[in-house]
Structures are given as structure tokens and as C-alpha cells.
Structure 1
Amino acid sequence: MGYVTSLFLRKMVAAAGPDIEAAELLTEAGLQPAGPWDPKVMVPDTRYYAMLETIAAQIDATDLPLRVGASMRCDEYDALGLAWKAAPTLHGSLSRVERYARLWTSVVEYELREHDRGALFILHRAGPRRLGMRLSNEATLASTVSLARQVCPVPFAPLEVFVQHAAPDTIAHHEAFFDCPVRFDADLDALLVSHEALAQPNILGDEGISRYLVSHLDRELSEIVVDRPLLVEAKDAIAQALSEGTPKMAEIARGLGYSARSFHRRLSEHGMSFQTLAEETRRELAEGLLRDERHSLAEIAFLTGFAEQSSFTRAFKRWVGKTPATYRKDRLKA
């Protein structure tokens, strides 16, 4: 399981309009509806995808990713957004995202690849291409174009947009937003940007400020790498305790040599809550056990801390969009 910034969830809910249960959706995703829009608070990607699928079941979500992309602002990305603006050219801005996107998500990697017509800005995201992921990919591409338009001194449009999944019933919204051909059923998710656009000087480009911000982002990135062993150790401890039921944070903290307060603070520094970490561990453990036919569904429910198999089934369907039995069947077919 990976993570995305909660900013994306809140943006999606806001753009969806009044015909959805906004507070309920945010609560189910683990966020306080009236809480601050803190981009450093992370949410499991499966919750994000599930929320998008719930929205799509309530409204026509064809142009939702485009509206979300249009709403994105550089300043909402903190230091990364400032580094985007301060980069000397659009090529520099895209290079910043390629290097530092890990500060915002652990489920997406970006690649800036040379092309004979300019460069491809490629979105790499692993995992089943469920509806939630497809909507998220479209929003990410739209956000990139929106941010580029905020720093480019002339009107910006990519040469082409490539999307791996099938087209919706109409692509008129997509072609109007991107102002270029949009190729669905492509081999990759990417924007093709011309040489001329890449070389355009950014409106607020400043080499000095850019160097300072890059050094700041390098420090933030190194802190994520340093913190990773704590999360790995915590997940191992949670997994071992699950057969006794849902573990308590104080017990896990004590086993790792922390006070509950110190452990909570360390997790918060990583944009993580104990509840989120425990649920991720449950999900990953469940997926691993389901790939082994020797374990019955009832055994897996017990080993992942559920008192009843029905509770496990509901939780697993919320995580991955299908029941444990269906997930196992699909994995065995693959």
C-alpha cells in the first residue's frame, strides 16, 4: 500500500459539488471534515481510490479530474510548489517534480524522458487499474498542465496527452481542457511537451531562490528515507500482534522502545497515524495470505485481527474494491 497527500482527497470532494456526502466521504477516508487542509497528512492510496469510486457512483465523474486539476495552485504544494515556480524554465519545474514527488506520494513516480518533439512527462503508477486509480491518473495529468499554465509566460498546452485506460463516453471535456489531442488506450500515461514550451522562462523563475528551495527539499527527502525503518519495524510489530486482535498503539510503542507520545509524534512527522499504519499492515498481510491457498478465509480473518469473517470481508472490499474470495480467485488466474 502507498500513500497520497490528503490535499488530493479534499480537492476531489470540493470539486464534486453538493450532490455528494462530503463529510461522510472524508470521515470514511480517515480525515476530519472540518480539519485543516494539511498537505503533509497522508492517506492510504486504497482509501483515495475507494472514495473516488464512491463519488463516481453518485455523480457523473467524467470531467471531475479536470476540474480538480484546474483548481490546483502552486502555493498549495508548500516548498515543492515554490520550487516549481522558482525554477528557471518549465523543464526545470518538471525536473523538480521528477525528483521530489516522493514528498507528496509514495504511489507515483515521474519520469522526464527526451523525445524527438520535446519531452515526455510520464506518470508511473503500479497496481490494478481500478476506476479510482484511473480518475486519479487523469487528475494528476490535468494538475501538471494547470501548474504549467500558472508559470508559463505564454499560453501553454501539451502537444499530446496519453492515457492508458479506455476513453469515457465522451472526450470533449478532456480535449477542451488540455487543448490538444488526447490518446486513450495508450501504452503510457504522459504529457508530450514541446521543446519550445520546455525552454520558456518561468514568470517567477529565480536561480537563487531555486537553489535554496532545492536544498530544503533535499533535506525533506532525506528525512523520509531516514524515517522508513521506523515504519517497517512498526508494521512488523503490528503484524505479529494482529492474531490477538487489534493492537493498541501504547503496546506497539512500548515494544519498539518508545513512549506512546513519542511514537505518536514520530509517526506524525511522517504524515502517518497509528490507525492508518495498522490498517495498511492488515491489508498487506491479508493480500499475502490470500495468495497462499493453504489458508482459509476464516483463518486469514483471524490472523489479520478480525473477530468475524464478515467483518474481514467488508474491510477487504473497502480496501481493494473486491471480496477476499474474488481477490484470491483473480490472483490464482494470473
Structure 2
Amino acid sequence: MAYVTSLFARKMVAAAGRGIDQRATLERAGIDPDAPWDPKVMIAATTYYEMLEGMAEQIDVTELPVHVGASMRCDEYGALGLAWKAAPTLKASCSRVDRYARIWTGVVTYELRNDTRGILFMLHREGERRLGLRLSNEATLASAVSLSRQVCPVPFSPVEVLIQHKEPKSKVFHEAWFGCPVHFGADLDAVLISHEAMERPNILGDEGISRYLMSDLDTELTKLKTPPQVVGDARNAIAQALNEGTPRVADIAKGLGMSARSFHRRLSEHGLSFQTLTEETRRELAEGLLRDEQYSLAEVAFLTGFSEQSSFTRAFKRWLGTTPAHYRKAKLMNAFPTSQIKH
């Protein structure tokens, strides 16, 4: 499921300051500017990337992801942030992110890998390396360092930072903030942390609290495996309405027997927005229809709510990194397994 927490989007907008219309930017991303900041409220990853790219057209975003990463606080991540803080060592903190990251993102996975100079805290994010994704990766790595500094009893800096995409016009601010060399154009996205720093006890490490929080997080992971009925019903209603264009939240809510306000609240309880759910339903429906040769590309575009095939093609390429025609051909020829398609 291609989503990210709206917390990241709100942080990016806040860090941009007066250089953008903050309220309008959030609204275009499907985020209510007046609602409380809730990390469990999700938005589609593609929507997030588009938001960042729109901001880049208005302001210089070179330093923006580092500012955002630096602003992240453990407590803002809910139970996961508390579990990070309560872990006995920094290595244990990183391990918990590796295990529970799915609770707040569906596009990034983490991995700890041994290196001769320490341990690599790596992030993996599939998809076209568009500007929005690149900025998001930088912010994620900066967040990891910021959270590490909040639990480390002594001043903390990584050994080095590795970033796959090309270097921005300047990396001076990056290296000054990280306190170590930052290598762009690398083979992976990671923060290299020394063994000593990884094994150093955290300031507030507490095994008892830690076990309690991990139990709560395990429960959250279990909930992710089976979509609640309201989400399943909403997906079906959206899919049926798409052939009439982009569905309206009021119409879907009415069909489910509830007000738009109640519908929004029920979705937010499960970390979803109506825009995110609609985007995901469109993508999943498009993938299914493209695997059936009886539907032309124009018909697939119509059935997924697009008035023009060109608009559908652009959206599909944004979702999966390939065109509908190429996706269909590859699927029909069994050119590659589903796991290799970019989501």
C-alpha cells in the first residue's frame, strides 16, 4: 500500500515557511490544515511526492529535507517513537524501526547491515527516483540522525551518510548538520553508525516499558493485515463509482449510510484519507483491468475515472513507473513477477 504519514507532509510545509501558501498546499494534498497533527492519518505517496515537487517550483528546497529531519521528535511518532526512546541501545531502537515501519509508511522498508566500520541503517524505497522521492529520502535519513541524537547520552554523529541520487547544487549544509561526510551518487541510501554508538545505552532505555510498547505495536501490525469493513466497503463503492468520474466523498458516504463527517472520521481511525483510498482503488482496479485483454486502454481509462487516456497514462506511470501498455504486455508475457513492479 503506497502511503506515508501526513506528519511528514505537514513538517515539510511548516519548514518551507512563508515561501509557499501553506494552507493551499496541504489542502491540495488532501490534508485538513485545521485538523490535529496525527501520524496515523496517511496520504498517498504519489500525492506526497507531487506536493514536494510543487514546493520546489516555488522555493529552493536544497536544505529543506535536512531541516525537516532535524525537526522530527520521538514523541511525534506515537507508540513507535516511544519504543525507539525506551529501547536499551541505539541498535535496538533501529531494529524496532526495521520491524514496525509499516505502521507509518507503505513505501519504505529498513534494514540493518554489518559493515567493517559499523552498522548501516539502510532505507529501501522503490519507484522512479523523481524529485519528490529524493527529497523524501534525504528527510528520512536526517530524521534517523535526529532521533538518534535525542536518545544518545553523548553528542552523536554518524560515520558517514550515503545517498543514491546525484548531489544537489551544494552539500555544505548537509555535511555541517550531519557532522560527517555525505556521499551522493552512492550505491545505497543509508546512515553508517559506529559499533560503539550502536551499543551505547540510551538515555531513557527501559526494558519494562519497551516490552509493553512493542506488544502494542505488534497489535497495530496485526490490524494492518486485514482491512476493516468500512475500508473494504468504501473501496467497493469507489470502484463502482469510478466509471462516472472521480467520486465525491459525500456520495460515497451517503451510499454507506453515514455523513461525510462520520465517514472522514472512520477512515482517519484507520490511518486513511478519502483521497488516499480513492487513489489506491484506482491503481488496483487499473492493474486488474489491464491483465484482462478484453478491455482496451481507452476503456480501462474510462472505468478508472479518467476522461482522457493521456491523463490515465500519466497517472499510471506515476503509480508504477511504467506505461499501461508496457505493464499489460509484460504481464501477458510473464516478463517479470508482480514483486518487481514498482508500487
TM-score under structure 1 length normalisation: 0.86
2:297–2:324 CA contact under 8 A, matched in 1: no
Deviation of the 1:280 alpha carbon: 2.3
- Is 2:30 aligned against 1:30? yes
Structural RMSD (CA): 3.1
Partner of 1:309: 308
5+ long unaligned stretches in structure 1: none
Match of 1:208 in 2: 208
Measured in 1, the distance between the counterparts of 2:301 and 2:286 equals: 8
Whether contact under 8 Å (1:47, 1:319) holds in the other structure is: no
- Listed as ranges, the matches of 1:137-286 within 5 Å are 137-227=137-227, 231=231, 235=235, 238-247=238-247, 259-260=257-258, 267-286=267-286
Deviates more, 1:295-304 or 1:180-189: 295-304
Deviation at 1:112, TM superposition (A): 1.0
- For residues 250 and 237 of structure 1, the distance between their equivalents in structure 2, rounded to whole angstroms, comes to 12
Q: Does 1:124 align with 2:124?
A: yes
Distance apart, 1:88 and its partner CA:
0.6
- Alpha-carbon separation, structure 2, partners of 1:229 and 1:194: 46
Instruction: Show the counterpart of 1:103.
Output: 103
Deviations 1:228-270, CA, capped at 9 Å, x for gaps:
7875675466435422444567987899xx7547976653332
Q: Does 1:66 align with 2:66?
A: yes
Aligned residue type for 1:47: T
Q: Cα gap change, 1:253/1:23 in structure 2, threshold over 3 Å: closer, same or farther?
A: closer
**Over residues 21-48 of structure 1, what are the superposed CA-to-partner deviations in whole Å (9 max), with x where a residue is unaligned?**
1111100000111221111100000110
Range moving further from structure 2, 282-291 or 95-104: 282-291
Moved more, 259-268 or 176-185: 259-268
Amino acid at match of 1:97: V
Name the CA distance, whole Å, in 2 between partners of 1:287 and 1:197: 45
Conserved in 1, the CA contact under 8 Å of 2:313 and 2:323?
A: no
**Partner Cα distance (1:320, 1:9) in 2:** 22
Is the CA contact (8 Å cut-off) linking 1:250 and 1:259 kept in structure 2? Answer: no
In 1, the alpha carbon distance for the partners of 2:241 and 2:17 equals: 42
Cα deviation, residue 121, structure 1? 0.5
Q: What stretches of structure 2 of length at least 5 have no aligned partner?
A: 336-343
CA positional deviation for 1:17? 1.1
Q: In structure 2, what residue type is equivalent to 1:181?
A: P
Secondary structure (helix, strand or coil) at the match of 1:106 reads coil
Report the number of matched residues. Answer: 327
Q: Which segment is superposed worse, 224-233 or 174-183?
A: 224-233
Secondary structure of 1:227's match? Answer: coil
User: Is the 8 Å Cα contact of residues 25 and 51 (structure 2) preserved in structure 1?
Assistant: yes
Question: How far apart, in 2, do the equivalents of 1:88 and 1:35 lie?
Answer: 35
Helix, strand or coil at the partner of 2:119: strand
Match of 2:79 in 1: 79
| Contact 1:46–1:320 under 8 Å retained in 2 | no
Match of 2:299 in 1: 299
Q: Give secondary structure in 1 for the equivalent of 2:43.
A: strand
Give the counterpart letter for 2:70 in structure 1. A
Contact 1:283–1:316 at 8 Å: present in 2 too? Answer: no
Q: CA shift at 1:75, angstroms?
A: 0.7
How far off is 1:282 after superposition? 1.9
Which amino acid in structure 2 is aligned with residue 120 of structure 1? L
> Relative to structure 1, is the Cα distance of residues 109 and 232 closer, same or farther in structure 2, using a 3 angstrom cutoff?
farther
How much identity, in percent, do the aligned residues show?
64
1-structure distance, mates of 2:187, 2:266: 40
With over 3 angstroms needed to count, the CA separation of the structure-2 counterparts of 1:110 and 1:2, relative to structure 1, is same
Aligned equivalents of 1:181, 1:329: Cα separation in 2:
43
Structure 2 residue aligned with 1:114:
114
Report the Cα distance in structure 2 between the residues aligned to 1:229 and 1:167, rounded to whole angstroms.
Answer: 46
Preserved contact between residue 50 and residue 318 of structure 1 (Cα < 8 Å): no
User: Residue 320 and residue 66 in structure 1: after superposition, are their counterparts in 2 closer, same or farther (change >3 A)?
Assistant: farther
Q: Is the 8 A contact 1:29 1:48 kept in 2?
A: yes
Q: Structure 2: which amino acid aligns with 1:90?
A: L
**Deviation digits for residues 156-207 of structure 1 (CA, Å, limit 9, x no counterpart):** 1111111010000111111111111111111110011100000111111111
